[in-house]
Amino acid sequence: MAEWRWIRIFAEHFERCGLAPGEVVAVLSESSSRPELVETARLAAQSLDGQIFDLIVPTPVNDQPVAIRSTGASRALQGNPGVLAALGSSGLVLDCTVEGLLHAPELGAILGGGARVLMISNEHPENFERFRYDPELGRRVAEAHDALASASSMHVTSGAGTDLTVHLAGSVTAGSTGLTDGPGSIAHWPGGLVLAFPAPGTVEGSVVLAPGDLNLTFKRYLERPVTLEIRDDHIETIGGDGVDADLFRSYLAAFADAEGDRSAYACSHVGWGLNEHARWDYLELYDKGAVNGTEARAFAGGFLYSTGANEVAKRFSAGHFDLPMRGCTVALDGQVVVDAGRLVR
């Protein structure tokens, strides 16, 4: 059941996304969506006098060999033309699907209709109490995105042994403040993250996941180091003893066997967090089913390495790891933007 304190916070955020009285607002959910999240979004939009309608689709059967988590690529729409027409003709789509529309194949058709989409991360509404409006977040994201978009290379190092080079020519970059920006735009809430989706053949080196780094597919803090040796964008070896490395190997191998290729081992995206209100340690305070992990992706100074689908590189896989890391140094063309886990700019 929704609580007033959540409704008020959601309404404030929707106002900043431009929701005006009389605007047509679609509350998109699926049969497996978090009920209190959907109800909170609906009531908040109604409190702003939007013209609200609910669009609920069935959650499809998982045809993968293992459970799918936190991909940002919801399969719930299934290309349904009636659903796409309704969403594309709306002013604002409040996306409460489990995985979200950020990387869904239908997103282009929805945005092409002129709708703007706010992907509300599949977190318990209580989480959003800590994400009140930060007027400086937009500036930080814009400056970081400009620096990323104009750079030719990213070099990431850490005291744990990470030494990764990403050549940025041909990459696609993005940044999100958590606020939509006019017709045809999408944002995810909470925001505060800048990313590059590298072109083929541009990622080389080592990523060392240290104790306390996160595996957001498993909603788990690593307890022992895991070393990823990366060549030609793909993880070639997964080093490490203990259950963290074993789980990593087992999960990726399931997709390689099912899909007949190694796209699940490839680099999806790289970037860093800028949200000063986000925390890396919040997973310990919630059951796994109550969180999606967007906050851990966006915490200020965290480096994010992700595996799996990358449309820029023409690679597609249902397997996906988002791996937020602490204590990394990120440099763009030699200019440090994150110094040992602390934002420089």
Whole-number pLDDT of residue 251: 94
For the chain, what are the domain ranges?
4-130, 137-343
Whole-number pLDDT of residue 247: 95
Whole-number pLDDT of residue 71: 79
CATH superfamily entry for domain 4-130 = Response regulator (3.40.50.2300)
One-letter amino acid for residue 338 of the chain? V
Model pTM score? 0.92
Pairing of strands 24-30, 51-57: parallel
Q: What size, in residues, is the chain?
A: 345
- Token pair recorded at residue 222: 């690593």
Ranges of beta strands (E only) in the chain are 24-30, 51-57, 92-95, 116-120, 153-158, 163-167, 172-176, 186-189, 193-197, 203-209, 214-215, 220-221, 226-231, 234-239, 267-273, 303-310, 315-325, 328-332, 335-339, 342-343
pLDDT means per 10 residues in the chain (345 residues)?
Answer: 93 97 98 96 98 97 82 89 97 96 92 97 91 90 97 98 98 95 94 96 98 95 98 97 96 88 94 95 89 92 95 88 97 98 91
